[in-house]
Amino acid sequence: MSAYPSPSAEALREELQQNSENDHVGHTLLFENAKVKVWHITLQPGERIHYHRHNYDYFWTVLQDGQGVSNQADGSQVSFTFQKNQTSFQNIVQQGSAIHDLQNTGDQILEFITTELKY
């Protein structure tokens, strides 16, 4: 169980509605051209990045070990244990889009580079 409080189910539903079109998948947009968007995400222990929509296939790389939990648009929740340099590809285009949040449930900073493929 997480040592950090999670928002209530009602608060998550409200946030999901408010952010259903939010396409800022990171904190800082590092680079963008016609083919890619590169984002940096840093979450302090207990911090969350709000719901956001992925419209493109993307991959993320973890910059240091950590733990997190992600609430999905369907109400399910996925827990993660991340390892430094771990990379994962997400095939979104076939699904149409994907909406989720991410909370750092570990005791260290959780940091990612996420690259969206805009084709």
Contact 79, 29 (CB under 8 A): no
Phi, psi at residue 41, to the nearest 5°? Answer: -130, 130
What integer pLDDT is reported at residue 42 of this predicted model?
A: 96
Three-state DSSP at 81 gives strand
Radius of gyration over every alpha carbon of the chain, rounded to an integer in angstroms: 14
Average pLDDT over residues 77-81: 94
Identify the band that residue 1 occupies on the pLDDT scale cut at 50, 70 and 90. very low
Identify the band that residue 67 occupies on the pLDDT scale cut at 50, 70 and 90. very high
Strand partners, 3: none
Contact 27, 49 (CB under 8 A): yes
What integer pLDDT is reported at residue 18 of this predicted model?
A: 76
Decide which of 91 and 18 is more confident. 91
What integer pLDDT is reported at residue 2 of this predicted model?
A: 47
Decide which of 8 and 114 is more confident. 114
Average pLDDT over residues 67-73: 91
State the average pLDDT for the chain: 88
Looking only at the bridges linking them, the beta strands covering 36-43 and 57-62 are unpaired
| Neighbour-count burial of 66, counting CB atoms closer than 10 A to its CB (0-12 exposed, 13-18 middle, 19+ buried) | buried
